[in-house]
Amino acid sequence: MNYPTINTGHAHCIPSTFTPPHVFGAEITSINTHLVTNFTAIVPAEQLFNTPTANATNVDFCNVTVSYTHPGQGDNISVTAWLPIDSWNERMEGVGGGGWVAGGPISQLAYPELVTSRSLYDQAVIGKSLIKDFYGRSPKKSYWNGCSQGGRQGMMLAQRYPGLYDGVAAAAPAINWNAFFTAMYWPQLIMNLAGKYPHGCELDTITEAAVSACDGLDGVLDGVISDADTCVFDPFTVVGTVFNCASTNTTMQVSHTAAVVANATWSGPQTSKGNFLWYGPHRGADLSGALTAFGLAGTRCTGDVCVGAPLYLGTEWMALFIERNPDFDLTSISHEQYDEIVYSGRQQFASTIETADPDLSQFKTHGGKILTFHGLADPVIPTRGSEHYYNAVQELDPDIHDFYRLFLAPGVAHCFGGSGGQPHTVLEALVEWVENGTAPETLPVSFTSAKGTTYDQILCPYPQKSVYTLGSDPTLAESYHCV
């Protein structure tokens, strides 16, 4: 579908151009505009998740900020839209946030200060209203673009407001919020109960051993575990291994405690009775990253990288939201108390923030498409959470492939980084799917190994896997096919 280019003038970038949007239950408090000229910025692909590097040069746009409140609530929410002056392709893009942050640093549309489903709805309504006032017409197609928290927001929009967006790019979505947030504390609980905290170097050595053991399962030694499901590496086989810890320049041995922590992290949390609670990262995912990816919290740190400190997102969720006590001492809880916290979180917040409803029938009826990727080496949000949700949707709709495709990215960490290739054409493929009906059969990826070799490969839509053709050149994309 080829859209015409719509031009508008600088003179339109004034508050009087815009009619206060109608937002149910809200009161618009202000509409502010700011004309931005000759804007230039380069945003690396790693920070944009679903798109390649953005190179904006001398761009003029109208920066519009709408602020509103809900009378009696004492809140103040702002929605920002960047409206191009020189031309507009008649598309709208909503951009998600990460962690506790609701919106991205570079966005064509909006960052509300809340992460509730209602605020996401308001964001889209306000954005479309501003666009219609500025250009004289509504967007022909609307897209959501996000990862992690932004991925969760995208799934929430598809589930609860199925007619708002035509396409949703939701990478590494935080679908099961309470489950994985409380799971972040699981390795810390194991260490606290044992009273032992292994060095980060020990966990790094175990991770390296796992990658080395499972790297070749796909027939290619590229430093990446591509067939994560068949990786059954046992961390206890590394106990006693002597290695040099670079950060302390000392010789160490991998302890039994380190293997216990590694196994617990990869296996995922269990109840005090040994029952399954939630998934852990795939074996080979960065163990230190699983413990420290979002920063350090607490004081129970020993060793070179303070791995005794859990992710602050997990501790804040448990103490501030579930227990509602900023002084709650998580370091002294028992396994049984941990079970109670997990259960309480589900009871209190599942209906508010979870996005695991598998019924996407209305989104499909509206013609919506979902395209997402999840790194197989993600140490923060377990990849199997995305697989679990996809399978649940497929149970209700065997034709899921017609509107929802999930790509698993070997070696990729949380949203970006890691040793594998991050797909940068997700949003582009989504637009082609929505507007031209061309469903993505593969996504291209490229990465350079630790040995300096560049590999061009492909990702396949789940449950298919990319398989290497033995005897061919492993650095070429044509040497791989989907099975």
Residues taking part in catalysis: 148, 378, 414
**Number of helices and strands (H, E) in the chain?**
13, 14
Judge residue 122's burial from the number of C-beta atoms within 10 Å of its C-beta, 0-12 exposed, 13-18 middle, 19 or more buried. Answer: buried
Is residue 60 within 8 A of residue 94, CB to CB? The reply is no
Judge residue 331's burial from the number of C-beta atoms within 10 Å of its C-beta, 0-12 exposed, 13-18 middle, 19 or more buried. Answer: middle
Is residue 228 within 8 A of residue 466, CB to CB? The reply is no
Q: How far is CA 50 from CA 40, 120, 172, 241, 377, in A?
A: 21, 20, 11, 40, 17
Residues 295-314 as b/e (b if ≥16 CB within 10 A, e otherwise) read ebbeebbebbbbbbbbbbbb
Helix pair angle (117-135, 149-160), 10° resolution: 80
- Rounded Cα distance between 203 and 252, Å, is 12
Give phi and psi for 91, each to the nearest 5: -115, 155
Strand-pairing partners, residue 142, are 92
Nearest residue to 369 via CA among 425, 422, 440, 424: 440
- Rounded Cα distance between 145 and 48, Å, is 9
